[in-house]
């Protein structure tokens, strides 16, 4: 177990920079898919920890809190598989290179590495800026992963990732609806909060629910 966690940590460090030699490592390392899975689950857990205000607002108890983090890790892993499949399919359709699905899966998994630091989104003031930074970093690594696996430059990689995103949106709105519904129900049951609820909306509503101030006394305007 410790050896596995150590491999995940090394993969996160490798993923942060995604040098070309990582492709060889991802191809040759026997447990690379399991390690990439670990990276994505850690990212999911960490991201929700960073955005856990939603759980605290719903007064989720510690045990449920931990379960929610793990479920988010697994949900992100499911999303990773679908996302990788979309990239792989579109890449094969757009480009001449035909890499194995497992390679695309592993490298896209490494693109989640920056999100392993998602717990830092908790930081007051800087947290929301950091969140955007981590997502951008992750997106750039995904672009690089596509460029390496399909042997293309930046712009074709960007088109591939963009089309992959559009495909996912189309799937979510059509045949993927039942899956999304089940996911949202599971989430609501676990946390008591809608999956897409904005913490700010809830907080603003919460603040508005407090009693209004009395009229000012004295000579105030």
Partner 1 sequence: MSIIGLLITGVFALLFLSAAVAPLESLGWYAGWFGDMEAEDEPRPQTPPSGVDAEASAPAHFLIYLSGIGAIAPNSIPDEEIPFIEGLRQTLPGTYVISDLFPYSVTNMGLTGQRVTARIWRWIEQLRLKNPAAVAAFLVNLRNVFQVATSADLRYGPIYNLGVAREMRHSLIRHGYRLGSGVPVTLLGWSGGGQIALGSGWYLPGMIGAPVRVISLGGVMSDDVGIERVARLWHLWGQDDPLAPLGHWLYPGRWKIFPASSWNRALAAGKIVLVPLGPYTHNGKGNYFDNETTLPGGETHMQYALSKVKQALVEAGLVSPPPG
Which of 53, 75, 159, 190 forms a contact with partner 1 (CB under 8 A)? 53
**213 lies in the binding site for partner 1 (CB under 8 A):** yes
What minimum distance in Å lies between the beta carbon of 205 and partner 1? 10
Instruction: Kindly indicate which of the ranges 89-97, 136-144, 179-187, 198-206 contains the residues binding partner 1, using the contact rule CB under 8 A.
Output: 198-206
**166 lies in the binding site for partner 1 (CB under 8 A):** no
Looking at the Cβ atoms of 92 and 188, the one nearer to partner 1 is 188
The half-sphere exposure of 210 on its side-chain side, counting CA atoms within 13 A, is 7
What minimum distance in Å lies between the beta carbon of 153 and partner 1? 33
**124 lies in the binding site for partner 1 (CB under 8 A):** yes
Instruction: Kindly indicate which of the ranges 15-23, 150-158, 162-170, 205-213 contains the residues binding partner 1, using the contact rule CB under 8 A.
Output: 205-213
Q: Which of residues 58-77 bind partner 1 (CB under 8 A)?
A: 58-62
Q: At 211, give phi and psi (nearest 5°).
A: -65, 150
Residues of this chain that bind partner 1 (CB under 8 A) = 50, 52-53, 55-62, 119-120, 122-128, 199-200, 203-204, 206-207, 210-221
């Amino acid at each position: 177990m410790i050896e596995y966690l150590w491999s995940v940590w090394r993969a996160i460090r490798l993923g942060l920079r995604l040098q070309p030699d990582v492709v060889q490592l991802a191809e040759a390392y026997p447990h690379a898919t399991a390690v990439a899975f670990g990276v994505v689950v850690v990212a999911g857990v960490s991201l929700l920890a960073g955005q856990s205000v939603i759980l605290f607002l719903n007064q989720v108890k510690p045990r449920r809190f931990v379960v929610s983090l793990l479920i988010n890790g697994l949900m992100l892993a499911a999303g990773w598989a679908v996302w990788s499949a979309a990239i792989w399919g579109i890449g094969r359709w757009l480009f001449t290179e035909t890499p194995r699905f497992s390679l695309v899966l592993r490298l896209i998994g490494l693109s989640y590495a920056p999100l392993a630091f998602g717990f830092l989104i908790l930081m007051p003031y800087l947290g929301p800026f950091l969140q955007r930074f981590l997502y951008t970093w992750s997106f750039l690594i995904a672009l690089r992963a596509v460029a390496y696996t399909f042997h293309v430059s930046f712009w074709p990689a960007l088109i591939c990732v963009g089309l992959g995103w559009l495909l996912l949106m189309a799937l979510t709105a059509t045949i993927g609806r039942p899956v999304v519904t089940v996911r949202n129900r599971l989430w609501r049951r676990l946390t008591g909060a809608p999956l897409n609820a904005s913490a700010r909306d809830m907080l603003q509503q919460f603040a508005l629910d407090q009693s209004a101030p009395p009229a000012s006394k004295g000579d105030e305007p």
